[in-house]
Structure 1
Amino acid sequence: MSKSAAVKTPAPKAAGPGRPKDLGKRASILEAAQRLFLEQGYQGVSMDEIAATAGVSKLTVYSHFGDKETLFAAAITAKCQEVLPDELLVRPPEGPLREQLRAIGHAFFALITSEEAIAMHRMMNVPGAAENALRELFWDAGPRRVQEVFARFLQARVAQGQLEIDDLALASSQFFCLLKGELHPMMACGLCREPGPAEVARHIDATADFFLRAYGA
């Protein structure tokens, strides 16, 4: 999952003066954007259509997000936060390190194997369906953000003496690549069904154990 060149996700446009933004409208816009981007692709969706689907004016959409690129990045980030919140990555449930890695693993695997994530993955890999700049937006809002936040979790465990890691970014990337394993690409290619709970648990347990054998103090 590592990517050699760092590309910054465009920061959302600053809100102008006036009343605080309506969080309910913002949520409706994000929900509409997620669905339409998946159904029609980035190029096939207009801000007018997103506004109509969300039940708001186009001015309201622009007021919250500024432009379509910012909205796309925000939609990806919102989906990641919904299934794999930063709080879980930085402060997972109390317990042994292995159980913490398992909890993060289950959340991440649920995220990448969801129908929305598989559809987005396929859209990003269809020639001509997305420009490189759009793929970079997707990468920064999703995989890169997750890896960077998880690296902070690893850094804290190194400081506590539970792990020995020289390259935190590499170790973070390796953990999520291990979690994808063979199952995720096969699902993305339509070559296998969604795995059952027992199969997922076995895969995540093996991933956590492998990672700890590599980096355990």
Structure 2
Amino acid sequence: MNAPSQVIKQGRKWDQVLDGARTVFLRDGYEGASVDDIVREAGVSKATLYSYFPDKRLLFLEVAKIECRAQSDAAAARIEASGDVRDVLKDAATRMVGFFMSDVGMQVYRIVVGESQRFPEVGREFYNSGPAMVRDLLIRFLTREVEEGKLWIDDVELAADQFPELCKAGLHLQMVLGLRDGFTQAEIDRVVDGAVEMFLCQYGRPRG
């Protein structure tokens, strides 16, 4: 695998390649997506695709980063709109669970973990494109709620790290290990509601 720094982010067909790849990856998954299918969907030649992305994994990671940014932007719009703390946290939890349990979310997690030791850039780029942005959003939101007296948090950064982990309880590890290939909506709602309730139990009231 070539280092991520070798991806050339220029050329008039860059967006065309990414749009085609996104369609194929979301439809067929990483393993099921072939380069032939991607170039056909994108309407470009293999030479054009390889001039941007010499490795299918690099192309998939770029698509995944775009998906992460889209999720982060959607979360930012919801959080910036403010509203009831419980509603905002539940919406954020639902979005996070939806992404990390999606085919794209699971596939990119496995690839990033598998490649990060050889190419630390992969992990850094993925983290900065999604998880770090969500963490920063949560920090800003929680800080604002603390200042307004709606939450009582001594360590906002720690709380922002804790919340996503609560949202993974009983779901993420089983998916990563292949013990389950999916969960019912009732099972997901149980985890989301539990994460919000536990978080607010700790930080939603003054501590004497």
Same fold (TM over 0.5): yes
Residue from 131, 142, 161 that aligns with 1:154:
142
Q: Which moved more, 1:139-148 or 1:174-183?
A: 139-148
Q: Structure 2 unaligned runs (5+)? A: none
Q: Which has the higher helix share?
A: 2
With a CA cutoff of 8 Å and minimum separation of 6, indicate the structure with the bigger relative contact order: 1
1:31 and 2:22 correspond: yes
Structure 1 unaligned residues grouped into runs of 5+: 1-8
Contact 2:21/2:59, CA 8 A, preserved across alignment: yes
Q: Counterpart in 2 of 1:3?
A: none
Match of 2:93 among 86, 101, 105: 105
One-letter amino acid of the counterpart of residue 168, structure 2: K
**Aligned partner (choices 75, 79, 82) of residue 88 of structure 1:** 75
Q: Is the 8 A contact 2:30 2:60 kept in 1?
A: no
- How many residues are treated as equivalent by the alignment? 197
- CA contact under 8 A between 2:116 and 2:122: conserved in structure 1? no
Q: Which residue matches 2:184?
A: 196
- Equivalent residue for 1:125, pick from 101, 109, 113: 113
TM-score using structure 1 length: 0.68
The letter for the 2-side match of 1:31 is R
1:49–1:168: structure 2 CA closer, same or farther, 3 Å change rule? farther
Native 8 Å contact 2:135 2:160 kept in 1: yes
The letter for the 1-side match of 2:78 is R
Please point out which of 206, 211, 216 is paired with 2:194.
206
Match of 2:43 in 1: 55
CA distance in 1, matches of 2:23, 2:190: 35
Match of 2:155 in 1: 167
Pairwise CA distance, 1:85: 3.7
C-alpha spacing 1:127/1:141, structure 2 compared with 1 (3 Å): closer
Query: Quick check: 1:90–1:153 contact (8 Å CA) kept in 2?
Result: no
Amino acid at match of 1:107: R
Percent identity reads: 25
Q: Secondary structure at the match of 2:174?
A: helix
Offset at 1:182? 2.4
Query: How far apart in 2 are the matches of 1:24 and 1:13?
Result: 12
Alignment check: 8 A CA contact 2:72 2:133 kept: no
Give the CA deviation at 1:160: 1.8
Residues 157 and 67 of structure 1, relative CA distance in 2, 3 Å threshold: farther
Structure 1 residue 59: deviation in Å?
6.5
